[in-house]
Structure 1
């Protein structure tokens, strides 16, 4: 698979998708169905690949906010079996979460301290915790553990580079202002 161009220099989600995603038209069509793209206040993108028995599988993700919702588009290459016939598939989903369901938001930046005392951004992680229950586990007759859905987004020097780390910081800060 060809190495994509970096999406981070683009302020337009349309332009960024066209240079970064393998399936930009599909992503943009499905995102337009749930959000007016000019209303997007911030976005991030990720992609990666794995080696499968049938070849290289790609996953692609766009996460955006319009100030009211978190919208996530994801596409995963896969394999489907029908009888004794296998077919390559693209599994695509769009998920929308109202920002008011986010109960906790943690934006972490790590800086490497250089010998001359200056700092260089080396790692950014955004964690979002929701009020949406994914499962429970009964501990006793009167107590249960509740597990809520969470999301984690990560960029580093080796995974995305400086521009994508800065965009993840920007995305996290936009979300923080929207959650207030």
Structure 2
């Protein structure tokens, strides 16, 4: 597959996946196993290269992600290229997973927009950030006999002029707004 096309102009996750993801059939098969695609209310996609290379090749390992909601759940498909060693032999692996989180476990949802303001008073959308914090405890640390720091899982998504462009920023805004309307 060559350079990916922008996924944002596509309203269906299957069309967007086919032009944007390296492994669209795998993603769609795994997503179909947990959600009916017509039930998807909104989605976003991201991909990028991980540090390093796959063993002795110059090819960079890729990560791909689809995040969607059906109005009740946050569903995350993620695939990462990895290198494992088995019997002193390096092996390239694609590690793909689907995670489902009830929207009712999201306790805080922050949708931030940043605008560049010009001298004439006009403004241009330059960055969108979505942060979600859950009740899902990932770790805790005792500070003293009576104090414990508790860390909950969070999810962060970011699009900007340089990272996805205007259409992907607008889709992240749409996704964040749909999530906000669906949270109980």
TM-score (norm 1): 0.97
Residues 83-128 of structure 1, C-alpha deviation per residue, up to 9 Å, x if partnerless? 1111110011100000000000000000001222111000000000
CA distance in 2, matches of 1:128, 1:2: 33
CA distance in 2, matches of 1:161, 1:121: 10
Give the aligned partner of residue 137 of structure 2.
133
Q: Quote the offset at 1:51 in angstroms.
A: 4.6
After TM superposition, which residue ranges in structure 1, 4 or more long, deviate above 3 angstroms? none
Q: Which ranges in structure 1 are unaligned for 5 or more consecutive residues?
A: none
Give the aligned partner of residue 78 of structure 2.
74
Give the aligned partner of residue 2 of structure 1.
2
CA distance in 2, matches of 1:159, 1:69: 26
Give the aligned partner of residue 167 of structure 1.
171
CA distance in 1, matches of 2:41, 2:142: 41
Give the aligned partner of residue 98 of structure 1.
102
TM-score (norm 2): 0.95
Residues 28-56 of structure 1, C-alpha deviation per residue, up to 9 Å, x if partnerless? 00000000110000000000013524331
Give the aligned partner of residue 145 of structure 1.
149
Give the aligned partner of residue 162 of structure 2.
158
Q: Which ranges in structure 2 are unaligned for 5 or more consecutive residues?
A: none
CA distance in 2, matches of 1:159, 1:3: 15
CA distance in 2, matches of 1:121, 1:81: 45
CA distance in 2, matches of 1:3, 1:157: 18
How many aligned residue pairs are there? Answer: 180
3-state SS of the aligned residue for 1:67?
coil
Give the aligned partner of residue 23 of structure 2.
23
